[in-house]
A and B are shown apart, each in its own frame.
Chain A
Amino acid sequence: QQQVKQSPQSLIVQKGGISIINCAYENTAFDYFPWYQQFPGKGPALLIAIRPDVSEKKEGRFTISFNKSAKQFSLHIMDSQPGDSATYFCAASSPLVRGFGNEKLTFGTGTRLTIIP
């Protein structure tokens, strides 16, 4: 059962354009939503993260938009550059009953983003 659905699988955007990747979740207990960026041959790297108490978070050219009622969140990359070409993963986590905190991340299936000149 996939708890975080990510779309699209692949995305091609022209340099300078806006890249938008969407994720939807089912588990209303999720309370932390990070995005990871992965280059070929490397491990995923944390890009930006948000909690559901805010609707938007911006860091440089990267913005997360969050819609709690729709259980959706998205990554927007403004002024997309060839160096942004990578695979992007959304993820979500929730506290566990055991009470240790947000131990486990559930990942989306990834979006391969290609920025063309």
Chain B
Amino acid sequence: DAGITQSPRHKVTETGTPVTLRCHQTENHRYMYWYRQDPGHGLRLIHYSYGVKDTDKGEVSDGYSVSRSKTEDFLLTLESATSSQTSVYFCAIRSGEETQYFGPGTRLLVL
């Protein structure tokens, strides 16, 4: 599992509330990623980080923000959750030149 944990694993929240998902890694990887997975869309990149305090947008970044204040933690925040953000969220790290390894996922339901 490349030492990746995600918390919470499941969350139910209401529209308009803020939500923060946490990704924690134990192997000091520089690159970390947040994806969402939806039926018919595969995995789509939300944001990624290439170092502490260094982040960039992916293809579906609207409505999401991220922070990385230390190497091991990458936080994904939904400032005001919407029903369209109901999804399964995966964190990933990059090991070596290209290989990405994924965490176990967080299932988020926005009512």
Contacts and interface: CB of A to CB of B under 8 A. Distances in A.
Interface stretch (A43-51, A54-62, A66-74, A78-86): A43-51
Contacts, number: 53
A103 B105 CA distance: 20
B74 interface: no
A89 B45 contact: no
A102 interface: yes
A34 B104 contact: no
A83 B27 CA distance: 30
A43 B103 contact: yes
B90 A44 contact: yes
Contact of A89 (B40, B43, B105): B43
Interface string A5-46: 010000000000000000000000000101010000111111
B105 A46 contact: no
B100 A46 contact: yes
Contacts of A44: 43, 90, 102
Contacts of B105: 41-43
B63 interface: no
Contacts of B97: 101-102
Contact of A109 (B42, B45, B92, B103): B42
Contacts of A36: 102
Interface in B34-76: 40-45, 48, 50, 58
Contacts of A101: 97-98
Nearest to B49: A103
B44, B50, B98: which has the most chain A beta carbons within 10 Å?
A: B98
Interface of A: 6, 32, 34, 36, 41-46, 49, 89, 91, 93, 100-105, 107-110
